[in-house]
Amino acid sequence: MGRISGRIWKLGDDVDTDALAPGRFMHRPMAELAANCLIDLSPDFAANARPGDLIVAGRNFGMGSSREQAAQALKDRGLQGVVAESFAGIFYRNAINLGLPVFVGRASDLPDGAEATLDAGAAVLRHAGGAVALEPLPDFLLALIRDGGLVPHLEKRLAKEGR
């Protein structure tokens, strides 16, 4: 984490899980769902987001359903992560459980399309003009993301317990 650079996709407040993982693609394979991530809200993102890109959004990112395909789609698109002023609780938990870095911070001054690097360990968003400090994650959540999400984390734990 922290060496990749990509473009910022700026989104507004209240980006919902139906926009991230539209219901009409929920029964389809994950690759198809990910390809249609944000298709109604930002067709440009759906068509052109590349691995290493990241999302900068306003308040309450990921509001709505508990469908974790909303976070999985962003992870599968290879995003570095999401920086938002606040997150909806279930989405936030899902993202961490899937190993998608999510940070609370105000980066709305950065323009859409700007290049940036998310340094999860340091909780900083670096860009050409400087750096934005983000709210650090508690250690155990950072450890979850570093392990790649809850499943690899549990694998480690179960192995330790000899199960």
Partner 1 sequence: MTLAEKLIARAAGRDAVRAGEIVTARVDLAMIHDSGGPRRVEPILKRLGVGLWDRDRVVLISDHYVPGDDPDGAAILGLTRDWARRHGVTFHDGQGICHVVLPERGHVAPGMFITGGDSHSPTGGAFGAYMFGIGATEMAGVLATGEIWVRVPETIALDWQGRLPRGVLAKDMILAMCGRLGMDGGRYQAIEYTGPAVRALGMQERMTLSNMAAELGAQAGLIAPDAVTADYVRAAGGDPGDWARWQGDAGAPVAERHTFDASTLAPQVAAPHSPANAGDVGDQAGQGLDVVYIGACTGAKHADLAAAAEILRGKRLAKGIRLMVAPASRRDQDRAAAEGIMGVFEDAGATILPNACGICAGYGGARLGADIRCLSTTARNFKGRMGDASSRVWLSSPYTAAASAIEGRIADPRPHLEGR
Question: Which residues bind to partner 1, rule: CB under 8 A?
Answer: 14, 16-19, 22-24, 26-28, 40-41, 59-60, 63-68, 71, 86, 88-90, 92-94, 97-98, 138, 140, 149-151, 154-155, 158, 163
Nearer to partner 1, 52 or 149 (CB): 149
Nearer to partner 1, 107 or 137 (CB): 137
The neighbouring-strand residues paired with 104 are 84
Nearer to partner 1, 46 or 123 (CB): 46
Nearer to partner 1, 33 or 116 (CB): 33
Burial of 32 (0-12, 13-18, 19+ CB in 10 A): exposed
SS3 content of the chain, % helix, strand, coil (to 5): 35, 20, 45
Nearer to partner 1, 77 or 93 (CB): 93
Burial 72-101 (b: 16+ CB within 10 A, else e): bbbbbbebbbbbbbebbebbbbbbbbbbbb
Q: How far is the CB of 63 from partner 1 (least distance, A)?
A: 6
Q: How far is the CB of 60 from partner 1 (least distance, A)?
A: 4
Q: How far is the CB of 5 from partner 1 (least distance, A)?
A: 28
Q: How far is the CB of 31 from partner 1 (least distance, A)?
A: 15
Q: Between the CA of residue 56 and those of 25, 102, 115, 134, what are the distances in Å?
A: 24, 10, 12, 12
Rounded Cα distance between 2 and 25, Å, is: 32
Q: How far is the CB of 47 from partner 1 (least distance, A)?
A: 15
Please, how many CA atoms are within 13 Å of residue 133, restricted to the half-sphere of its CB? Answer: 2
